[in-house]
Amino acid sequence: KGVDNVSSKITFMPISYTGWGSLEHLTSEAERLNASNILIVTDPFLEELGMTNKIVEPLQAKGWKTSVYTEVVPEPPLEVGEKLVAYTKENKFDLVIGLGGGSALDLAKLAGVLAAHEGKVADYLNLTGDRSLTHKGIPKILIPTTSGTGSEVTNISVLSLESTKDVVTHDYLLPDVAIVDPALTTSLPPKVTAATGIDALTHAIEAYVSKNANPVTDGLALQAIRLISGSIRQAVADGENKEARTNMSYGSYLAGLSFFNAGVAGVHALAYPLGGQFHISHGESNAVLLPYVMGYIRPSCEKRMNDILEAMGFSANQLSQEQASYKCVEELKRLVADVNIPVSLKGFDIGEDALDSLADDGIKQTRILARSPMPLTREDIYTIYHAAYSGE
Ligand code: NAD
């Protein structure tokens, strides 16, 4: 795979600043992008934490106008996106900065692009929209405060709909600059560190087994798996641990680059209905499904699951390929449990009667499911949800 005659498009778009203290590059980048009237998109909790001041103060010191928009909510519904886009259109901003987790970053990049387009956000949705993006819009700088989504390097904005999620996706959504500073993540509570960290791990694992993987995305994914699986327990136990936070930050960034190029698959396709129907966070939805989806598709990617097991720090030497792939599933389940995320749908109070409607929505995610190394039918999807429900 990847070294045969199949060609791959690889995009590493934004100029990125990474590592502890990298926020110091914000003003010089804003200057390079000719900013003077800046929109900062964030959520009310980060404003309350005083995080927004770290962005606003240096920009105001330059004499630039800043407007802080704090109406972002986790897993943002379409209407929240529509409102922000309308606000952005009414004002003549020349730079959009997204500060926060994936929810704030997804909305910031959407606003930056859609401010320059006719129509509503709904017109541009992947599954139901009928319009395509035609230009890049306002320059964008994205600054993640979770180590999870990789949104700072992807061309996707995710929106919650009534019973599932949909995306707007186009390379115009890629930001001009990403600033990935682990110092901004030390305030994350253990529960969010765990959920967002497993989200990042899922990106790397799904990218590694994706039908679209290639040697470039493989390298990124394996390094992400090493960093995240080796540090997530410490980051959850001690949020101030600089080394663990730095590893998580690099891990989620690498995982983002990897899955943006190779794609995610079954875990994400099944996680979207969980988020949509039960308002479970994106990270937890992925976490509870990860061992069961990987357990189900295991026969289609045994060798790759051996590699994942080794990247997680275990030796597969004494094991057959089949045994090692089973152990990989077991270790993933242990990792999810160790960071205190429920390992069955029952742990989220989801009853067996919900599985049919989850499967009905899961099978609709055709774009994502197309990258699964094992084709998944609605029946397969129901079986996976059932395994996740019973915890076996
Ligand atoms: P989030 O942005 O919803 O944030 C979760 C919570 O953490 C919020 O309450 C927020 O206020 C808080 N928080 C964030 N940073 C903090 C910090 N440093 N200290 C304390 N609290 C902090 O969570 P997320 O998991 O980063 O993003 C989820 C969203 O991203 C979902 O909508 C998901 O579908 C989307 N997503 C997008 C992509 C992409 O490529 N664009 C990929 C995966 C997921």
Rounded to whole angstroms, the Cα distance separating 176 from 35 reads: 13
Is 3 within the bounds of a domain? Answer: no
Q: What is the DSSP letter of 194?
A: H
What residue owns the CA closest to ligand 1's atom 23?
101
The answer to whether the CB of 42 falls within 8 A of the CB of 145 is no
Question: Residue 79: which H helix or E strand, with range?
Answer: helix 78-90
Task: Give me ligand 1 centre to Cα 321, in Å.
Answer: 36
- Environment class of residue 82 by beta-carbon count within 10 Å: exposed (0-12), middle (13-18) or buried (19+)? middle
Distance (angstroms) between ligand 1 centre and the Cα of 210 equals: 24
Ligand 1 proximity of 252 Cβ (cutoff 6 Å):
no
Structure-block tokens of residue 78: 């379409």
**Number of domains into which the chain is organized:** 2
Whether residue 198 is contained in a domain is answered as: yes
**Ligand 1 atom nearest to 154, measured from its CA:** 40
- Kindly state whether residues 255 and 208 are assigned to the same domain: yes
Domain for residue 7, yes or no?
A: no
Inter-residue contact 10 to 172 (CB < 8 Å): no
Residue closest to 210 by CA, chosen among 249, 151, 255: 255
Pocket test for ligand 1, best of 41, 42, 43 (most atoms within 8 A of CB): 43
- The predicted pLDDT at position 5 comes to 59
Q: Is residue 294 part of a domain?
A: yes
Ligand 1 center to residue 84 CA distance, Å? 17
Q: Is 14 in the pocket of ligand 1 (CB under 6 A)?
A: no
* One domain for residues 200 and 229: yes
Residues 176, 194, single domain; the answer is no
125 and 241 share a domain? no
Q: Based on the domain organization, do 19 and 138 belong to the same domain?
A: yes
DSSP-assigned states of every residue in 233-284: HHHHH-TT-HHHHHHHHHHHHHHHHHHHHH---HHHHHHHHHHHHH---HHH
In a shared domain, residues 223 and 147:
no
Co-location of 58 and 154 in the same domain: yes
Neighbours of 167 (CB within 10 A): 22
Q: Is 357 within the bounds of a domain?
A: yes
* Domain around 134: 15-185
Q: Is 54 found in the same domain as 177? A: yes
Final residue of a structural domain among 133, 150, 185: 185
Shared domain for 42 and 102, answered yes or no, is yes
pLDDT at 370 (0 to 100): 96
- Give the CATH number of the domain where residue 264 resides: 1.20.1090.10
Sheet bearing 177-180, strands edge to edge: 15-18, 177-180, 140-144, 95-100, 37-41, 65-69
196 with 133, same domain: the answer is no
* Cα of 344 vs its chain's centroid, Å: 21
In a domain, 6, yes or no: no
Tell me if 5 is assigned to some domain: no
Structural Rg of the chain based on CA atoms: 20
Domain end marker among 185, 210, 234 = 185
Cβ–Cβ < 8 Å for 358, 345: no
We report the CATH number of the domain holding residue 26 as 3.40.50.1970
Of residues 342, 332, 340, the one with CA closest to residue 312: 332
In a domain, 2, yes or no: no
Measured in angstroms, how far is the CA atom of residue 205 from the centroid of ligand 1? 19
Do both 142 and 231 map to the same domain? no
Residues 134, 272: one domain? Answer: no
| Per-residue confidence (pLDDT) for residue 4, from 0 to 100 | 61
Of 160, 185, 210, the one marking the end of a domain is 185
Cβ pair 198, 291 in contact under 8 A: no
pLDDT tens digits for the chain (392 residues)? 445 657 888 988 899 999 999 999 999 999 999 999 999 999 999 999 999 999 999 999 999 999 999 999 999 999 999 999 999 999 999 999 999 999 999 999 999 999 999 999 999 999 889 999 999 999 999 999 999 999 999 999 999 988 778 899 999 999 999 999 999 999 999 999 999 999 999 999 999 999 999 999 999 999 999 999 999 999 999 999 999 999 999 999 999 999 999 999 999 999 999 998 999 999 999 999 999 999 999 999 999 999 999 999 999 999 999 999 999 999 999 999 999 999 999 999 999 999 999 999 999 999 999 999 999 999 999 999 999 999 98
Question: 103 C-alpha vs ligand 1 centroid, how far in Å?
Answer: 5
